[in-house]
Amino acid sequence: MTSISGTLLKIVYDALFWGQNQKVGGKEQPLFIVLEEAHNYLKAGENSISSRAVQSIAKEGRKYGVGLALVTQRPSELDETVLSQCGTIIALRMNNAKDRGHIRSAIQDELQTMIDLLPSLRTGEGIISGEGVKIPSRVQFYKLANAPKSADPIVSEKWMQNKDDVSESDYEKLVSLWRNQKLNE
């Protein structure tokens, strides 16, 4: 999958590079690429087509109208050179010292103490630093009313609701969905 993504990224980047002065090229029609789970495309030390394409976009893309957002829960798995090319860093709560170290190496020296706040942030809080903000800031992101499936369950409530309602057939259905790789039957 990453080779397909890498090939597509390379095609897009090359087209915008070679067409940078055209009506449909990068400077006249800029493109912003968001890579969710970026550590899958840009592993540190890897020389895959996706890593090379993302490195090119991160290092030179702005000149040709290609912007890039790297979204990951594991910044320590990203290539440090590319992370250092990020103009704006948005970091949410981060307990892992290795991940914080990678973020620390990517921001300005005078803002290093902000990284120490990362483990103490609440859910939905973050620190923004770089070109996207006038001053480095601690922010609170609003939750969507209809949050996607990625919202965390409230474990204690779920345990109380389901403690007597589970039957053997529920487990049989779960195993069937798992084996058939389906979400619902």
Q: What is the pTM of this model?
A: 0.68
Check residue 11 and give its pLDDT: 85
Check residue 71 and give its pLDDT: 87
Beta strands in 74-184 (DSSP E): 88-92, 125-130, 137-140
Query: For residue 122, what are its two tokens?
Result: 């609440």
Q: Are strands 31-36 and 125-130 parallel, antiparallel or unpaired?
A: unpaired
Check residue 37 and give its pLDDT: 86
The tens digit of pLDDT for each residue in 148-157 reads 666 667 777 7
Check residue 1 and give its pLDDT: 59
Residue ranges of the chain whose pLDDT lies below 70: 1-2, 25, 147-152, 162-163, 185
Domain range list for the chain: 1-86
Tokens 């050179």, residue located: 81
Query: For residue 62, what are its two tokens?
Result: 């702005």
87 Cβ partners below 8 Å, 6+ apart?
A: 62, 130, 131, 132
* Cβ atoms of residues 20 and 60 within 8 Å: no
Check residue 41 and give its pLDDT: 78
Check residue 56 and give its pLDDT: 86
Torsion of CA 178, 180, 181, 183, to 10 degrees: -80
